[in-house]
Amino acid sequence: MNSIKTGHLIGASLGPGDPGLITRHVWELLNNNENHWSYPIRRKGSKSHALDIVLRAGLGLPDEHTALIFPMTHDATILAGYWLRAAETVLVRLKAGQNVIFLVEGDASTYSTFNHLARAVLGLEKNITIKTIPGVPSYNAAAAELATPLADTDDTVAIIPAGYGIEMIERLLNDFDTLVLLKVKPLLDDIIDLLQHRGLLDNAAFIEKAGAPEERIIKDILSLKGTKVNYLSLLLVRNSQRQRGEIMRGCRQQTQ
C-alpha cells in the first residue's frame, strides 16, 4: 500500500501592495492549479489585504480556498487558539498530499503571520516541509517610492515595530543613520513629538499601504498629529545629526 506524500506549506511573499512586485517564483506557484490558496483575515467575513494584491494582479480566486482568521489582538492565549485552529485546517490538506500556499503581504520572513502558522503546523506534525519565498518588504518599497536610500556607503539601519516605545526609539536615533518604524499607528503622536524635539521632522517621511491603490505619502509629518492612520503604515527617519567617525577602507574609524 502506497503512503501519501505530505504537501508543503509555502509562505508566498507578495510585496506590500503593488502586484508588479510579485516575484516570478510566486507567480508560478499561484498559477499552479494543484496548489491550494490560504490567506489571513482579521475576522470572519473581512477582507484580506494579501488576497487583494493577488486579485489586482489579474488572477482569479480558485474555487477552493481557505481564509484563516488571525485577529488583531496582543492576547497570547487568544492568538494561540487561532494559530492552532489555522494549523489544523491547513494540515488536513497537507496530509492529503496538497501543497498549501499562504499569501503574505510584504516579506514572509519579516514580522509575518506566516511564521506563527508554520510553527503551529510543525508543533502538530514535525515532518511537514516549510518553504518561504522571499519578497519585497514594505520599507524597501517605501524607500523606493520616496526615492531615498535606506542606507548609503556604510550607513547603519534599524528596523523595529514602533510599539517598542519612545525610549527605545530615542536610543536608536542616537545609534543609527536610518530608522524604520513599523506599525506606527498607536504611538504616532508621541513619535511626532520626539522627532520635533530632536529637529528631525524634515528628515522623516510617512507612508501608508505602500504600493496599494490607497497608498498615502506624507512628508509634512506634523500634519499627521491627532489624525488616524492605517495599521499598514510606517515612518522612515534619516538621522543626519548622528555623530560619526571617518570612513577608512569601508569601515568607520572613530576620530579622537
Q: What is the pLDDT along the chain (256 residues), one digit of tens a residue?
A: 446 799 999 999 999 999 999 999 999 999 999 999 999 999 888 999 999 999 999 999 999 999 999 988 888 899 899 999 999 999 999 999 999 999 999 999 999 999 999 999 999 999 999 999 999 999 999 999 999 889 988 889 999 999 999 999 999 999 999 999 999 999 999 999 999 999 999 999 999 999 899 999 999 999 999 999 998 999 999 987 666 655 554 555 554 4
- Tell me if 177 sits within 8 A of 235, measured CB to CB: no
Compute the distance between CA of residue 176 and CA of residue 242 in angstroms, rounded to an integer: 7
- Tell me if 185 sits within 8 A of 230, measured CB to CB: yes
Q: All domains of the chain, ordered by start, with CATH? A: 8-133 (3.40.1010.10), 138-246 (3.30.950.10)
Q: In the structure grid, which three cell numbers stand for residue 28, read together?
A: 508560478
Q: Which of 42, 50, 12 is nearest to 209 (CA)?
A: 50
Kindly report whether the global pTM for this prediction surpasses the value 0.85: yes
Query: How does DSSP classify residue 111?
Result: S
DSSP string, 212-251: STT-EEES-GGGGTT----SSEEEEEE-TT----EEETTE
